[in-house]
Chain A
Amino acid sequence: MRFFFRSKQFKVILAIFIALIAVSIIFSVIGGAISPQSNIAGTVTAPIRSAVTFISNAFSDFAKALSGGNEVMLENAELEAQINELREQLADYEKISKENSFYKNYLEIKDKNPDFKFAPATLISRDTADPYKAFVINKGSADGIAAHDPVITDAGLVGYVSEVGLTTSKVTTVLSPDISLGALDNRTNDSGIITGSLETNKKGYTKFKNLSRSCNVAVGDYVVTSGEGVFPKGLLVGTIESISNDQYNTSLSASVKPFVDIDNIREIMVITEFKGQGGSLIKEGK
């Protein structure tokens, strides 16, 4: 053992170790950017990861179709009956339901928010080590994406870009405690903060906390972004599933089920520009 610590091999390993620690410290101070060696490796391997994800998705679809064929057919029949009933009751929404395709919904968001500029992206890998379901997309700073850009699908808010490489970026989801965004109850206008926790994450929910004890929020209400921080106003976050007192009984908090099915995301849109952009995450207080 003593010989190893005196050897050239040990000195080389020690030098690389110190260099990596230095790079880590520098990039943790900068924040939002990824280390150069990860950037190069990410850029080089991005096409391979895209291909593997594509095969993985196809494999997943095939397995689902194979295992849940009958179940899906029964479910489809039930849903069709429900849709027919809803069509009669909500004739006004018929037109909208016909236009329920991926890009048309984005166009709708774009129509409502002409100041939004989108960058479409595809998920290329998931951060399996992250219980809050962070993932990596195939677009980076070369495509105009910057740290803290909001990420959405046609269903609603997904999260934000937490780290940016040249051709890839990491997306932190609304389930993560790293996210902290101002939100409103769409019906009552009661305001609070959306942030994740491991407790709510188990069910795939996020937390709507800091609600006043006198607020009128109710189960089933929609939660939307309030426009404070890095997110534009009015993005759909989710529906309130349950309401409880916080730890010290000073305010209320609610469990919110995101509209977006984060486990099955494949295509997303990054909002690269919007009116009033330039805020920061509330918790960071920047």
Chain B
Amino acid sequence: MNKKRHPVVLTLKILIFFFAVLFYYTSAFNITVKGITPLLILPLITAFSLFHSPLACALSGLLCGIFMDACAIGSYCFNAIVLMVIGAFVSVASGNLFNKNIQSATVLSLITATFYFCLQWAFFHTDNVTTRDSFTYLLNYAFPSMLFSAVFIIPFYYLYKHFNKLTTE
């Protein structure tokens, strides 16, 4: 199948990524339930990566990650590295190990969310804090955020499936 250029779809994809990151760092616009905020960029990258090449997904993840690192000001390139790896992994895994249906998307979304939040916990919430605080973070913030983020794969999957249909001949 050939891909055809569709400027409107391309613009929409860029804007969705841009605002998903921007709103995450703006208190009035993010969806917070009992202190838990979903990281919409994770299911977004997962849904995007189901229908694009590994390089395109890795670069998209990289750009989103750099933007996130800039918003949160981190001396480490944590988001840039992790989102790049997630993009490439989902793209390769969906082409070789999984299907491109909603069930696979859900499983991949859970895997990516678990990967992201466990790494975040290991890197930023185990050093300089008590063991109790560290596990409190894991159980009270990381796990709920993981599940809350993964849920958003459903709308994003159908959105990107539709985009893919529009751009595929």
Chain A residues in the interface with B (C-beta under 8 A): 1, 4, 9-10, 12-13, 16-17, 20-21, 23-24, 27-28, 30-35, 37-42, 45, 48-49, 52-53, 56-57, 59-60, 63, 125-131, 134, 136, 163, 165, 168-170, 177-178, 197-199, 263, 283
Q: Are B62 and A199 in contact (CB under 8 A)?
A: no
- The CA-CA distance from A90 to B2 in the complex, in Å, is 79
Closest to A29 in B: B75
B116 CB, nearest partner CB in chain A, Å: 10
Q: What is the number of contacts between chain A and chain B, taking CB atoms within 8 Å?
A: 155
The answer to whether B141 has its CB under 8 Å from any CB of chain A is: yes
Q: Which residues of A contact B141 (CB under 8 A)?
A: 131
Number of interface residues of B (CB under 8 A): 47
- The CA-CA distance from A37 to B62 in the complex, in Å, is 11
Q: Are A126 and B27 in contact (CB under 8 A)?
A: yes
- The CA-CA distance from A37 to B75 in the complex, in Å, is 10
Q: Which of B24, B25, B37, B129 has the most CB of A within 10 A?
A: B25
Q: Are B69 and A38 in contact (CB under 8 A)?
A: yes
Cβ 8 A contact of A177, one of B29, B80, B84, B128: B128
Contacts of B72-90 to chain A: CB distance below 8 A: 72-78, 80-81, 84-85, 88
- The CA-CA distance from A33 to B28 in the complex, in Å, is 29
Contacts of B40-55 to chain A: CB distance below 8 A: 53-55
Q: Are A9 and B75 in contact (CB under 8 A)?
A: no
Cβ 8 A contact of A20, one of B25, B28, B84, B92: B84
Q: Which residues of A contact B73 (CB under 8 A)?
A: 34, 38, 42, 127, 136, 163, 165, 168-170
Q: Are B72 and A129 in contact (CB under 8 A)?
A: yes
Closest to A169 in B: B73
The answer to whether B11 has its CB under 8 Å from any CB of chain A is: no
Cβ 8 A contact of A198, one of B27, B77, B97, B136: B136
Q: Which residues of A contact B62 (CB under 8 A)?
A: 16, 20
Given contacts A32-B75, A35-B75, A197-B130, contact A125 B54 (CB under 8 A): no
Cβ 8 A contact of B75, one of A28, A53, A197, A198: A28
17 contacts between A and B (CB under 8 A): A1-B92, A4-B92, A16-B62, A17-B81, A23-B77, A35-B69, A38-B70, A38-B74, A40-B70, A125-B25, A126-B26, A130-B72, A131-B35, A136-B71, A163-B75, A168-B73, A198-B129
